[in-house]
Structure 1
Amino acid sequence: MTKKLFLIDVDCGVDDAQALMMALAAPEVQILGITCCHGNTTIEHVCRNVLRVLQICDRSQIPVYRGASEPLLGDNHSINASYYHGKDGLGDVPDPASPDLDYVQKEHAALAMVRIASEYPGQVSLVATGPLTNLALAVKMDPTFPQKIKNLFIMGGNMESRGNVTACGEFNFTSDPEAAYIVLNVYDCPTYIATWEFTCNNYLSWTFYDEWILQETKKAEFMRKISAHAAEFIKTGSSAIGADFNKGFVSCDSYAMAAAIDKSFVTEAINCAVSVELNGTLTRGMMVLDITGRLQKKNKAFVMTKCNMDTFKRLMMAALK
């Protein structure tokens, strides 16, 4: 079987870890590298969290690259998701066996992206589950980078102007609006976007969560520990990130990963040009869907609207086996 080649860019919080473990468990996927970006927590924590996930999955041979530690303009560096993921990004669970950061590669993440895509032209799927700073840097360093990758899967943005960190802004895009703008307007490869509303609309039940988390494996034990903080945050019904998020279990980043792994996962999508608002007082960081073609953009994206939840459940369960 020919392997699907993946590059994965993360700001490794709990749902990034869940998405990574989904990809690591997929026998048809070969991960060429994991690049780290600021976002849910500091870049140091992100790198260490990725190493922890690889360690628990016995896949420490996969190279990890440190990337951007702040947004392109540096004006949103105070945004983080410690309230949800914990200060360290993985639920603030002590881990005396945590790998040393010396295992992180010396090459910068954006340079590694360009190099790996050049080594496997037209073969690599890029999955981005955090702010898009590294992707913006990569295309600025090599304008042909988008033509070298096979496709791009993004968790980020919104399609109904519903925000989770501002009135109209989703976390990943609002963390670096300029980077999101560059990626959505410059990347011309096939692009698939799992938005905030899409993930919330396709939540999993807490019954499934319990079945998933209580599997008798070391991976499930790890996930039980790191997810406890986030699960409690959701169950307490915080309105800070939207009422729909409280209906069930939502592993946001895993939806983008599932789409990359199994093409049957996405059953309906809106194919249109997309962009990001940079100047609005209330709407900075909001993704804009150009349904009527007024932007006259050639590049279009597939904005996911419906999915096969049986496929998603299968991939989620396999992640912790």
Structure 2
Amino acid sequence: MKKIIIDVDAGVDDAIAIMMALANPDVEVLGITCCYGNTSVENVLRNVLRVLKVCNRLDIPVYRGCSKSLVARTINANDFFGTDGFGDVPDPHAPGLDLVQKKKAELAIIDLVNENAGEVILVATAPLTNLAVAVQLEPSLPKKLKALYIMGGNIESRGNVTICGEFNFVCDPEAAYNVLDRYTCPTYIATWEFTCRNSLPWSFCDTWFCLHTEKSDFVEKISRHSRKKAKEQGNLFDPCDAYAMAAAIDDAFITESEEVAVTVELEGMYTRGMMVLDYMEKLKKVHTVFIMKKVDLEKFKEMLINAVK
């Protein structure tokens, strides 16, 4: 049984990632920590509770995390995911925020990892602010983690929110810098360019939504706005965060990766928030990360289908 903590800024793709984890019988979700990002942290909390309700898993604890970045100006993805992160689809029967745990997200991460030292996989699909605060409070935290899986960053300076920056890292470059510097556990990164290259045709969505389960209807509804935006931009179906989750769930999902030391640019006019790959070993870093390159897309499709059955 894999023990997982999920750190999210839900976000439709975060919702899909959560559902993938909950659908797998070999995964135990210890908790879900919430961070600002795609929308406000209050909306993220509401969205996570909506996902847990449709999955009949409101027993999983949900924790409130950071509402803004460490230093950077706060941005969001209102244009792509809607102002509430779920396509502005109302839900009059959504669970209330009284279900949110009193403990702060960063303390929950520390406590859950300490209680399960060496066993916890942390899957981070949001700006890395909660993780940066957690390691500041508990410097030994990374040594107790089994692994860290991140959706974020880029490998070819292709941005999706700035010229050279991917959304999660640009939201909080200082947090991303600190996490990649201080989390020395095995680390796997699904970058923006990687997800673009492994996106799925829209015909898959048609098959997916034809299942007409409560879960598939839920995903179809909350993703209408972002699907429309993606198609207008000429993109394929790219549930970015789900790739990091799939890798965390199934070790065989990644078929090719690249091991290299990385850092994050903090000062560039055009490159602030860009992930830097140290091929020349100028950083003299001992810790390297695994950059996901190729994955088993048939396995990915199967996991997506199982998530909404």
TM-score range, shorter chain: over 0.9
Can you give the 5+ residue segments of structure 1 that lack an aligned partner in the other structure?
A: 238-245
Paired position in structure 2 for 1:76: 73
How far the C-alpha of 1:216 sits from its partner, in A, is 1.9
Paired position in structure 1 for 2:87: 91
Structure 1 segment 15-164 matched on structure 2, within 5 A = 15-73=13-71, 75-77=72-74, 79-164=75-160
Structure 1 segment 160-309 matched on structure 2, within 5 A = 160-237=156-233, 246-309=234-297
For 2:254 and 2:38, how far apart are their aligned partners in 1?
Answer: 26
How far the C-alpha of 1:247 sits from its partner, in A, is 3.6
Deviations 1:196-237 (A, max 9, x none): 000000010111111112212000111111010000001112
Amino acid at match of 1:174: V
For 1:220 and 1:189, how far apart are their aligned partners in 2?
Answer: 35
Q: Which 4+ stretches in 1 moved above 3 angstroms?
A: none
1:312 counterpart SS class: helix
For 2:175 and 2:235, how far apart are their aligned partners in 1?
Answer: 31
TM-score scaled by length of structure 2 = 0.99
Identity of aligned residues (%): 57
How far the C-alpha of 1:45 sits from its partner, in A, is 0.1
Amino acid at match of 2:7: D
Can you give the 5+ residue segments of structure 2 that lack an aligned partner in the other structure?
A: none
TM-score scaled by length of structure 1 = 0.95
2:258 counterpart SS class: strand
2:271 counterpart SS class: coil
For 2:279 and 2:18, how far apart are their aligned partners in 1?
Answer: 32
1:219 counterpart SS class: helix
Deviations 1:258-303 (A, max 9, x none): 0000111111111000100000010000000111211110010000
Amino acid at match of 1:17: A
Task: Provide the aligned C-alpha RMSD in A.
Answer: 0.6
2:251 counterpart SS class: coil
Amino acid at match of 2:303: L
Amino acid at match of 1:106: K
For 1:7 and 1:33, how far apart are their aligned partners in 2?
Answer: 5
Amino acid at match of 1:263: D
1:32 counterpart SS class: strand
Paired position in structure 2 for 1:240: none
For 2:77 and 2:235, how far apart are their aligned partners in 1?
Answer: 20
- The worse-fitting range, judged by mean Cα deviation, of 35-44 and 290-299 is 290-299
How many residue pairs end up in the alignment? Answer: 309
For 1:142 and 1:123, how far apart are their aligned partners in 2?
Answer: 17
